Amino acid sequence: MPSLTFRGRTWNRDRAMVMAIVNRTPDSFYDHGITFAEQAARDRIAAVVREGADVIDIGGVPASPGTEVTEQEEIDRVVPTVEWARQAFPDVVISVDTFRAGPAEAVCAAGADLVNDNWAAADPAILDVAARYGAGYVSAHTDHVTPRTEPHRPRYPDVLASVIGQTVALAEKAVAAGVPAAGILIDPAIDFSKNTLHSLQVLRGIDEMVATGWPVLLAMSNKTVVGESLDVPLEERLTGTLAATALAADRGVAMVRAHQARATRETCEMVATVRGERNPARAVRLLA
């Protein structure tokens, strides 16, 4: 499992790292604002740390179309949470889900380690921010779609080739801008500018992304691809999410973004244990 370095600190794990989601929004697709209040967000962070999350991903703007959130609103939502989390959990990686340079600057100044840019440097200055702070950066595939919009019937001659080509090119652009290479991950951005068939094609080829040599972030927790694959509602997508997570972990993804931190951690640990990359937490049966 590759090590990752953010702001000069290196993290090593014997299984895929778990990035737990904390939404500082009233309209997130999955939790519908359950952690919009500051105290609720802090309680959620403390809970997922107890559940074994390695990374806390804090977001102040939903990815889906909706009410405009100004840069100052985003900063006001996210920065106090980052400041508190940095003090409360100094050994946890703090990531912020943002696509704008202004908020990225504010959260890095507050102590964030990783800029999780779901919109592929739509604001190019975001790379300069990550470089200036030595922060990590997530290079995502959106096929150049405007942030917080959804294309009509996206088409690709080869969706996996598009994903690999664009994420690797952006990762290389980030390095050229001064972002430390050891802190860059590539993200296929499941369901972003992709229908369910596209997302499934990408999942089937996740080992080809791993083969690029760039650490891969898988962010598909409870997404539409799971709902449509199994014909299940939002609240019943955990089993499908974990099945795909296990397959991706077996193929070498470095990090998994998740709503359910403990279940995801245990899935990644079990995969690593079966592969012989991690020792059992305890092994006593028939050995005493």
Domain ranges of the chain: 4-274
Note the pLDDT tens digit of each residue in 71-122: 999 999 999 999 999 999 999 999 999 999 999 999 999 999 999 999 999 9
pLDDT at 31 over 90: no
pLDDT at 132 over 80: yes
185 exposure class (CB count in 10 Å sphere: 0-12, 13-18, 19+) = buried
DSSP string, 36-50: -SHHHHHHHHHHHHH
pLDDT confidence of residue 119: 96
Its pTM stands at 0.96
Fold of the domain built from segment(s) 4-274? TIM Barrel (3.20.20)
The answer to whether 102 and 71 are in contact (CB under 8 A) is yes
pLDDT confidence of residue 220: 95
pLDDT at 30 over 80: no
Note the pLDDT tens digit of each residue in 231-272: 999 999 999 999 999 999 999 999 999 999 999 999 999 999
The residues that bridge with 255 in the sheet, in sequence order, are: 17, 217
Provide the percentage of residues in the chain whose pLDDT is more than 70. 100
Helices (H), the chain: 38-50, 71-88, 101-110, 125-133, 159-177, 196-204, 206-210, 224-230, 238-250, 261-274
